[in-house]
Each structure stands twice: as C-alpha cells, then as structure tokens.
C-alpha cells in the first residue's frame, strides 16, 4: 500500500473510532496544496474524492492536470475578488467567503451549466486580527445574502481554531462556530455544513459537531516549500 493510502486508512480508522457510533456523515477534504498532481492521483486511487486547495494559480493548473478524475474541488484559501471568477468556474465549493462583494462576484461568474457553487461563510473564531472571516454574530446577515444569490448555495460555516495545540481552547472556539450555525438554522436558513478541524485539531472539531474536516499534513506529509507549478516534476 502507498504511504498516502496508509495515511488515509489510518486517519479514517481514527475518525470512526472518535465518532464512537455517532452516525453523522463526515466528509474528509484532503488538502493537497503545494503537492503535485501525482500525489492527488495516489489519494484518488485509494478512494479519496474531495480535495482542498488554497492558491488559485496552483489549483487551476492542478485541476487541469487532473481533469480526467471525477474529483470534488474545495477552495479553502483567502480569495481576492479579482480571482473569484476562476474559482467560480473551476471549483465545487468555496469555504472562506467573508464579504458580500466576494459572494456577488462568485455568483455572477458561476457558469449557467453547473450546479450552484457550494459556499461556506468563514467566521473568525480565534479572533486573531490577521485572520479572515466575519465576526461571530455577523454570519447570519451574510448567509442570508448568499442564500438569495442564484449562482450560490449556502451550505454552512467554516472556521479555524488558534494554532495553540490546546485542545480545550480549540473546542471552545469550534463551539462558537457550532452555535453560529444553530442560530442561522433557527432563523430559517438551510445549512448542513460545519467545516472545521485540521491535522492538529480534528478531534476537538468532531467533538463540537464538525461535518467536514480539512486535512493536509496527516494525509500527504509535510508540505513542499513552494506551490506546485505546471511543468514542475
Ligand atoms: C492548509 C490548510 C488546512 C490543512 O492543514 P493541515 O494542518 O496540513 O491539516 C486546512 N484548512 C485550511 C484553511 C488550510 O489553509
């Protein structure tokens, strides 16, 4: 078995162990940023279907190189409005939407022949000034705006915990995201997705109701020093 297939198998075993019979469906998004298409193929061959990318240029080249694979692509990085058109055309999901202007550009450029783009609103749960995301309490207004746009489908919320390594702190931050989604649903919007949990903190995320984990290092190993480019090995 390839190392990536082994990592995937071990991770899935630990996830189901952590779920302890909880029947919630969890989607594992394999974060392939900086890694070459060959590694994505290896994960795909092992049954992985959802992949996450952060950098538009790298991602578009990689998606092109892997056009023969029926994979689901998630944009999880920081997105500038001037690159939103590419993302709206190439991706199936965008996790980091935190302003209405960006949502409008994504909706406008979603090709008519494709299903609406699945969108999560990013909430700044670590309250670090440098991180993206709306403030807790501001997610509902943006979710309403997104739900009314024809090219988008509001799916839920995305958040990143502080990289403290402190499990209790991560849980407290993920709980903020869970309560935000509960409030949005109580207001009558449909939203089934809590995108939270990375290699270091996915257990805390599951404990707080995650439905989507975004995991890179635990599947692919340490990231390359620079982004993959077409033409590179
Ligand atoms: C890179 C990245 C991940 C994956 O991080 P790992 O620690 O490698 O699992 C998840 N989410 C976002 C938003 C990322 O940028």
What would the pLDDT profile of 88-140 be if each residue is shown by its tens digit?
A: 999 999 999 999 999 999 999 999 999 999 999 999 999 887 788 999 999 99
What would the pLDDT profile of 51-63 be if each residue is shown by its tens digit?
A: 999 999 999 999 9
**CATH number for the domain that contains residue 159:** 3.20.20.10
Q: Is residue 18 part of a domain?
A: no
Q: Is residue 232 part of a domain?
A: no
The reported pLDDT for the residue numbered 21 is 84
Q: Is residue 226 part of a domain?
A: no
- Compute, in angstroms, the gap from residue 30 CA to the centroid of ligand 1: 9
Answer for the pair 148, 189: CB distance below 8 angstroms, yes or no.
no
Where in the sequence is the domain holding 75, given as residue range(s)? 3-7+27-220
What would the pLDDT profile of 172-225 be if each residue is shown by its tens digit?
A: 999 999 999 999 999 999 999 999 999 999 999 999 999 999 999 999 999 999
Residue 228 has a CB neighbour count (10 Å cut-off) of 24
Q: Is residue 75 part of a domain?
A: yes
- Compute, in angstroms, the gap from residue 36 CA to the centroid of ligand 1: 16
Which residue out of 39, 58, 198 has the highest number of ligand 1 atoms within 8 Å of its CB and is therefore the one to mutate? 198
Number of domains in the chain: 1
Burial 160-173 (b: 16+ CB within 10 A, else e): bbbeeeeeeebbeb
pLDDT score of 46 more than 90: yes
Mean pLDDT of 56-75: 98
């Amino acid at each position: 078995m390839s190392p990536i297939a082994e990592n995937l198998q071990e991770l899935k075993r630990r996830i189901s162990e952590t779920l302890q019979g909880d029947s919630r469906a969890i989607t594992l998004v394999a974060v392939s940023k900086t890694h070459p298409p060959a590694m994505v193929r290896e994960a795909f061959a092992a049954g992985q279907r959802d992949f996450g990318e952060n950098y538009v240029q790298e991602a578009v080249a990689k998606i092109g190189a892997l056009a023969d694979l029926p994979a689901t692509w998630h944009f999880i990085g920081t997105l500038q409005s001037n690159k939103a058109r590419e993302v709206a055309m190439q991706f199936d999901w965008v996790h980091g939407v935190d302003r209405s202007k960006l949502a409008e550009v994504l909706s406008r450029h979603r090709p008519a022949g494709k299903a609406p783009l699945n969108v999560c609103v990013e909430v700044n749960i670590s309250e670090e000034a440098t991180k993206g995301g709306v403030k807790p309490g501001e997610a509902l207004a943006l979710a309403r705006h997104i739900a009314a746009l024809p090219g988008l489908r509001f799916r839920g919320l995305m958040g990143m915990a502080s990289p403290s390594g402190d499990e209790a702190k991560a849980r407290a931050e993920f709980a903020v995201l869970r309560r935000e989604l509960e409030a949005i649903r109580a207001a009558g919007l449909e939203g089934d997705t809590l995108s939270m949990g990375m290699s270091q903190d996915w257990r805390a995320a599951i404990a707080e109701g995650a439905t989507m984990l975004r995991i890179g290092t635990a599947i692919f190993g340490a990231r390359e020093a620079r982004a993959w480019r077409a033409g590179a090995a």
